[in-house]
Amino acid sequence: MSAYIAIIQMGIPIPSVMENYGDFDSMFIKHMQIDGTKCQTFKVYQELKFPEFKNLAGIIITGSPSMVTEKLKWSEATIDWLKLVFKQNIPVLGVCYGHQLLAKALGGQVDWNPNGRQIGSINMQLNNDVHNDPLFSQLIYSDQKTIEFYATHLQSVTRLPKEVTLLGCTSNDKNHCFRYKHNIWGLQFHPEFNSSIIRKYIVARSDDIFNEGLNPNKIINDIKENDNGIKLLIRFKQMCLSNN
């Protein structure tokens, strides 16, 4: 088999998103603008099977409706596998749940976000290190201080691992984005989402959002269009396949 990107799928999206946009792996493949034959999905929440490192050009670990603190068997097994991944020189992108698993595997802590739910458009404040980052540097201007993405999460990385570089935070989440070594990134936001997908998540969670003292209609009205997630995933694809 030729070089490919493995999508480690940790669960499924909400029904309204699945119906209109497909499964998590389909969203990543579409926004990476990659031939689907260059990707292979491993639905570890259904079957505990991981890719061999041979011919593996990159790894994406997706989001999930599950919670890391549940310590589900397949989730804990993924953490054990990630510790082997860290010894390889393979680009890795952990998204939302995947971001939290990376942090936990590296010795960080994951728990319920003390600031509550974060959902909708987010404005990530950029640390200085992001301007020399191989993934982010081509997405931002030299003096750019913030960048917008879409996010939805209740848990977060509450203690950052010692050996990572913090790249960005939000007002709700202090450890929103990090890099480990030169090739592994944890993103609490969802680069595979567009504005329509995040709107569907807000609608689906509207009762809970309201009961938490937030205004779901305002969150929907505050959504800003951006294609930064697409640009990031295309850049990640380029990094994975550049030497393959």
The predicted structure's pLDDT at residue 119: 98
Please state the pTM of the whole predicted model.
0.96
Cβ–Cβ < 8 Å for 235, 52: no
How many alpha carbons lie under 13 Å from residue 138 in its C-beta half-sphere?
Answer: 12
By DSSP bridging, strand 92-95 and strand 56-61 are: parallel
**Domain limits for position 135:** 4-241
The predicted structure's pLDDT at residue 244: 64
Q: In terms of Cα–Cα distance, which of 136, 53, 144 is closest to 93?
A: 136
- CATH at residue 178: 3.40.50.880
Residue 100's φ and ψ, nearest 5 degrees, are -70, -40
Number of domains in the chain: 1
* Residue 107 CB neighbour total at 10 angstroms: 12
The CA-to-CA distance between both ends of the chain, in Å, stands at 12
The predicted structure's pLDDT at residue 242: 84
d(CA 16, CA 26): 15
| Residue appearing with tokens 């960080």 | 108
d(CA 140, CA 158): 27
d(CA 55, CA 4): 6
Q: Contacts for 18-25 with beta carbons within 8 Å, 24 or more apart?
A: 20/196, 20/200, 21/196, 21/197, 24/62, 24/63, 24/192, 25/62
d(CA 120, CA 134): 26
The predicted structure's pLDDT at residue 142: 85
Q: In terms of Cα–Cα distance, which of 52, 8, 206, 179 is closest to 103?
A: 179
pLDDT tens-place values along the chain, 244 residues long: 689 999 999 999 999 999 999 999 999 999 999 999 999 999 999 999 999 999 999 999 999 999 999 999 999 999 999 999 999 999 999 999 999 999 999 999 999 999 999 999 999 999 999 999 999 998 998 889 999 999 999 999 999 999 999 999 999 999 999 999 999 999 999 999 999 999 999 999 999 999 999 999 999 999 999 999 999 999 999 999 986 6
Cβ–Cβ < 8 Å for 109, 150: no
Write out pLDDT tens, residues 69-118: 999 999 999 999 999 999 999 999 999 999 999 999 999 999 999 999 99
d(CA 99, CA 110): 10
Helix (H, G, I), strand (E, B) or coil at 188: coil
Helix (H, G, I), strand (E, B) or coil at 197: helix
The predicted structure's pLDDT at residue 146: 96
